Structure formats: C-alpha cells, structure tokens
Chain A
Amino acid sequence: MNKIFVSLIAASSVALMVGCGGSVSALTKDHVSKSDVAVQQATQTLGNTEAGAIELQRAKDNLAQAKAAVAAKNDKAADRFASMAQLDAELAVAKSQTASTRKAADEVLASVETLRNEAARGTP
C-alpha cells in the first residue's frame, strides 16, 4: 500500500512538473543530502529499538523518493520528499527518546515506591 501510494505521489508530482523542464538546483540537492544525513543519524540513534522504527522506515521511504525526484529533475517533489524525510527522521528520534525516558521514569517511580514501603516497614 505504502509503495503504491508513494509511487503514485511521485508519478503525479512528476506529471505536474512536466513542461517546467530544467535541472535540479544546488539548493534542492543540498536539502536532500541534509535529509540523508538526518536519516542516517536517526538510524544510528535508534539502533534496534522498537520505538520510532515505523517513522524511521517512513523517513527512508521519503528519502528514496526525494532521490528519485532529483534523478527525475523534479525540484519541487525532491524538496517536499526531503522535508518529509527529515521530519520523519526527527519524529523517529523524538519517539525513541520519549520511550527511553519514559522507561527510566517508570523505574525511578517504582524504586521510590519500593523504598517507601521498606521505610514504612522499618519504622517501629
């Protein structure tokens, strides 16, 4: 479903751009390579963690579409896919951070609870 959707969007974007001609600007190329770096960093940050994995995959898909758009000399589509790839990469990292911080918080709260119970038992 995702693939069909993505290629349809790409196809429609290309179709819309037909007639404009020209080649991809340096600005767009820079945008795409920045997204590439963001996706790579997110991949490293996440490692094998589950949280954010879906968003990271989406970021990779969007990056691939951005690169395809560059190859097809489609500036606007490349920029937009690059933007979405970057946002998805950012969201993936944010989700994994939330998950790890949440886990740490739950552990601290549980340890406080345990300590309280022990302190209560220890009181004569």
Chain B
Amino acid sequence: MNRTHSLLLGATVAALLAACASAPKTYPELDTARAMVPQVEASPRAGVAATQVAEARKSLDRANRMAESGGKPEDINFEANVASKNAQIANEKILTAEAKEQIDKGEAQRQAVLLQARERENQVRTQQAQMSAEDAELAKQRAASLEKELADLKGKQTDRGLVITLGDVLFDTGKSTLKPGAYATVDRLATALKGNPDRKVAIEGHTDSVGSEEYNMELSQRRAQAVQSALLERGVSSSQVSAYGKGKTFPVASNDSAAGRQQNRRVELVFSNEVKTARDGA
C-alpha cells in the first residue's frame, strides 16, 4: 500500500506542478480499478454484493470518462479509489458468501454421514436379529427333524439315550451284509444324522445265545460295522458314528423261544441326548 501511496503522492505533486498544463496520460489508481472491477463483476456470486459492484462500475466509468476528456487527476484518482474500494468490499462479501456455502454444504455432509452411519448400524442390527432368528428356526427344524425321524423309526427313550432297534430281518442268517430292505431305514438315519452333525450315534450289534461267545461277538461286531459303513457311505461324518460288538451278553428277551431269540438278534442305534446346536456352541 505504501507503494500506492507513493504513486498517488507522485501523481498529486505532478498535478500541482503541472497547474493548467495538459494532464498526465497515466493514472496508476485508475489502472488498479480497471483491473479489479471486472474481476468482481465476473464472479458468479457478484449478486451478494450487487450494490458495491454497481457503485464500483459507476465510479470506474466516471473516472474513465474524465481521463478521456482530460479531467483533473485528483478527481480521476478519487473516482478510481472509490471504484477500487467498492470492488474490494464486493470481493470480501463474495469470499464470505463462499465460506457460508461451504458451511451449509459441510453441515449437510455431516448430517449425511451421521445418517449413513445410523442406517448402517440399524442394518447390521436388523441382520443380526434376522440371523439369530434364522438360527433359532434352523436349530428347531433340525431338532424336530431328528426327533421326527427317530420317532418314525420307533425310537425308544432309555437312560442311555434314544435307541432305535434294527431287527435281524435286515440281515441274512449268520451274515453281516445288510439286506436291501434295510436301505430305506439307513437312508433316513443318514439324513437325520447329516442334518444334526452334533448328534452322535453308537451302533451296537447283539446276538442270541446260539453259538460260541467268540462267534457271536465277532458276528455282532461285523453287523454293527455294516450299519456304520452304510451310514458313512451316505455321507455321515465318521466322528458321529461308532460301532461295537456286544455279542450275546445283552439279551432283550428269553433265548428259550424262537421269538425271543429273534428279538435278541438285533442292531441298536443309541443316540446321544445332546441337543446343542453348532451355532449355539460358537
């Protein structure tokens, strides 16, 4: 600004010295105004300082006319200064308006970010609620399906767990190969076990008292293993199934009659009582 002052001082002194002689052709103050006024006029936000922009233009036009018609430098400088000042005020108002717009936009963005965060939170909560509801429903269905399968197979609740008995009609006499008639039952057992991977089953082979202990032990073992293999072939996890031969030591009926012996020749599937679901355990 000191520089401007010096220039203005120079111009004033020159004007005084020139007295009635011809006016100087250059006016630094006017040049400044000529540069500043069009800048604020061109601003897209010129509307916020309409008064100052109009005043600046009026003064600049006046200064230009005086400069053209050889007016007094003092008058030209004054009008040019008024034009520049108005342009500067307009410029400040434009800058303020810009900052205000940024504040409004920033506030809107802040609200949007907050809203998004809240929506995301709600979404996660809803999803979690849905998932646990689905989990519960699934667990219920699984439990229901196993209990249903086991009930259909005429399972009996005992202190060892739920027991399903496969009669000897599913095996040929003295053999450990499952007859095709057993497949439907084994299929259903496999499906029930696969649907309930946390349930375990112990397969126990039993025989009547006919024949040596060794023979019966071995036969019961092989029959239990035959059922185990059939389940494993159908995709049941080996960790769910174990097979044991119990021989003739656990009769369920008298071995004196044919009917009793037939009842004693059997394979029992003992289901553990755990009803914990995998997701509950997680």
Q: Which residues of A contact B (CB under 8 A)?
A: 1-2, 4-5, 8-9, 12-13, 15-16, 54, 80, 83-84, 87-88, 90-91, 94-95, 97-98, 101-102, 104-105, 108-109, 111-112, 115-116, 119, 122-124
Contacts and interface: CB of A to CB of B under 8 A. Distances in A.
Interface string B56-100: 000000000000000000100010011001101100110110011
Given A4-B9, A54-B1, 5 more contacts: A13-B74, A90-B85, A101-B100, A102-B99, A105-B99
A108 B107 contact: yes
Contact of B113 (A12, A109, A119): A119
B117 interface: yes
Contacts of B103: 101, 104-105, 108
B96 A97 contact: yes
Interface of B: 1-2, 5-6, 8-9, 12-13, 15-16, 74, 78, 81-82, 85-86, 88-89, 92-93, 95-96, 99-100, 102-103, 106-107, 109-110, 113-114, 116-117, 120, 124
Nearest to B78: A80
Contacts, number: 89
B12, B74, B92, B113, most chain A CB atoms within 10 A:
B92
Contact of A115 (B5, B12, B16, B113): B113
Nearest to B94: A98
A104 B12 contact: no
